[in-house]
Structure 1
């Protein structure tokens, strides 16, 4: 085992030593390699792709790394693999691949041709976003699972996916790959990883204040611990947490730089940074500004409302997408049993007694808008959408595309598998201030359709 490579990877990717060792043992010795296919799986931002790429580069192994989101057809997939394994440089003028390849038989033939010229034994094919194989040609997954047996070349295929392998069981006769699991980071692991970013924190302070406060690793670790106490419950994405931790550290340090408090007064620092962290939670995943712009915005206004309204106004959503988002908010924060009363005309008004009103307004923390979003089905979302929309439009692919865009923007979360067509569920990620701004842009009174305010 090359200790230098292992030490480097474990230093660059802390808390992933076990997975790095597993992968190295499976592909690090080409002469002893026995794994035909390896299935690497885990959630988003857990290091699957980065570690695989770094390991292959450090071992100087010939490999073809292919993202199946980009290579969405078998033709693109075949030609990309052939280009990379043959070291073929595509002419930007002609765009000609190594060979035009439309089927698996031609792909294997050209691969053996490359092998005869440059010996592909010990090479690796990496299929990132492997879950896309489920919607591609039926023979791709079974063939790549037993690829060495079919092409007669010592090539290992690595699948990288966010889904477990059981989700691929729709195909009969699949060969079981060796599995390597990348679990989500726990809070202690995230604390250790984010605490390593202290040099970025120092640079952020210099960029904003042109001077550096004298803080040590314990000070930054305490900040990260406070940061995770608010963010860990709602986000486990390391990339997003790292981004948010860096841009909020400047706000955390402002009272010290402005001589308002000392570096040891952690309670005052926490009290002052808490509103900024809560405001950042509202724009999680949106990344509407870079670090410098975020810092300048924070200095211009301490009001979180300004930030939320500004985000809502800068989002260039199509007209129907705004109504879909409003409908999603209503579906998330209204009980399903209230839909008839809220959205159906001539449903028969319920007579409210004084006890009903008193019970409804007794404790503000019991309001649905304070308890968090609830899941809802696609059918219910569309029913509310058509109810609140004044126009008569038919159901078409355009609406589904706009719904997918809201999920991609993290304004909605999909709680179902992408291949589940019946009873798909979603959850709305935006808060009341955000959706109220969106509603004003289209002239919609959202309070009128929320059960929390119906008694007022």
Structure 2
């Protein structure tokens, strides 16, 4: 069994290395903090960095690849605490609002005290009390605009529930601007820096289509970055630019090939 586990762990790490390019330091730190699934993890992590630095993608890929129980909620979509609580509980229960259930939630949850009680019931019913459960709150700066007890409560959720749960707060602002005036448990912080030009070259080149060689596509990416890097360093926007200009490059090469074929 231990041999199978080691083989599975090696396969998971290989998969992570292939998908999480240029984020080796952050992935290594997160894996160290997570530890073994049955060990108590740090109560809360605050992960920050500019947009398109891979925060959400890295966390989601790690949790899914390692098959860790988790819920990922975007705080922009949850403009009330009730929506936030119910989305977390829905995901941990595996409940999906749909036409068949009239888009209803797994359970109603109006207050933080209700959330603590329902969370404990759910984890025991699902047999999750012996492993770490991860609750990811993306765009967590929106919590500052909600009830004053919400952020301190989440940061102390492990203490309040007496369960092995870790809160991951993802934000584009630093903790000093995030810290509430009421005082709360200080999370462990992790910074995701902007991608360098070399990083962007490596990530974008990794997406090369199979019909062209990797060297050809890397050359195209290098030319594109030479034009746009000084004015745009957002990975999402650069990926969009790569796609729309690559269609033009394809059209140019196809037209040139057709012309020379006719001439010959």
Q: TM-score, normalised by structure 1?
A: 0.51
Displacement of 1:174 in angstroms is 2.1
Distance (Å, rounded) in 1 between the aligned partners of 2:232 and 2:26: 22
Displacement of 1:148 in angstroms is 0.3
Per the alignment, do residues 174 and 255 of structure 1 end up closer, same or farther by CA in structure 2, a change over 3 Å counting?
A: same
Alignment of 1:225-374 (within 5 A): 225-259=222-256
Matched, 1:70 2:77: yes
Per the alignment, do residues 190 and 100 of structure 1 end up closer, same or farther by CA in structure 2, a change over 3 Å counting?
A: same
- 2:196 paired residue number: 186
Matched, 1:95 2:95: no
User: What SS is found at the alignment partner of 2:244?
Assistant: helix
Per the alignment, do residues 181 and 258 of structure 1 end up closer, same or farther by CA in structure 2, a change over 3 Å counting?
A: same
- 2:34 pairs, out of 20, 27, 36, with 27
- 2:12 paired residue number: 5
User: What SS is found at the alignment partner of 1:258?
Assistant: helix
- 1:159 paired residue number: 169
Displacement of 1:254 in angstroms is 4.7
Alignment of 1:415-454 (within 5 A): none
Displacement of 1:253 in angstroms is 4.8
Displacement of 1:86 in angstroms is 2.3
- 2:154 paired residue number: 144
Contact 1:79–1:97 (8 Å) recurs in 2: yes
Distance (Å, rounded) in 1 between the aligned partners of 2:232 and 2:110: 42
- 1:17 paired residue number: 24
Structure 1, unaligned runs of 5 or more: 203-214, 261-456
Contact 1:131–1:161 (8 Å) recurs in 2: yes
Contact 1:10–1:20 (8 Å) recurs in 2: no
Per the alignment, do residues 14 and 116 of structure 1 end up closer, same or farther by CA in structure 2, a change over 3 Å counting?
A: closer
Equivalent pairs, count: 247
Deviation per CA, 1:330-370, whole angstroms, max 9, x where unpaired?
A: xxxxxxxxxxxxxxxxxxxxxxxxxxxxxxxxxxxxxxxxx
Displacement of 1:96 in angstroms is 3.0
Per the alignment, do residues 257 and 110 of structure 1 end up closer, same or farther by CA in structure 2, a change over 3 Å counting?
A: closer
- 1:217 paired residue number: 214
Distance (Å, rounded) in 2 between the aligned partners of 1:67 and 1:254: 39
Distance (Å, rounded) in 2 between the aligned partners of 1:109 and 1:256: 63
Displacement of 1:115 in angstroms is 2.8
Distance (Å, rounded) in 2 between the aligned partners of 1:169 and 1:184: 23
- 2:145 paired residue number: 135
Distance (Å, rounded) in 2 between the aligned partners of 1:218 and 1:90: 46
- 2:88 pairs, out of 81, 101, 112, with 81
Alignment of 1:408-419 (within 5 A): none
Larger relative CO (CA 8 A, sep 6+): 1 or 2? 2
Contact 2:47–2:191 (8 Å) recurs in 1: yes
Structure 2, unaligned runs of 5 or more: 1-5, 258-264
Displacement of 1:255 in angstroms is 4.7
Q: Hey, which bits of structure 1, 4+ residues long, moved more than 6 A?
A: none
Q: TM-score, normalised by structure 2?
A: 0.86
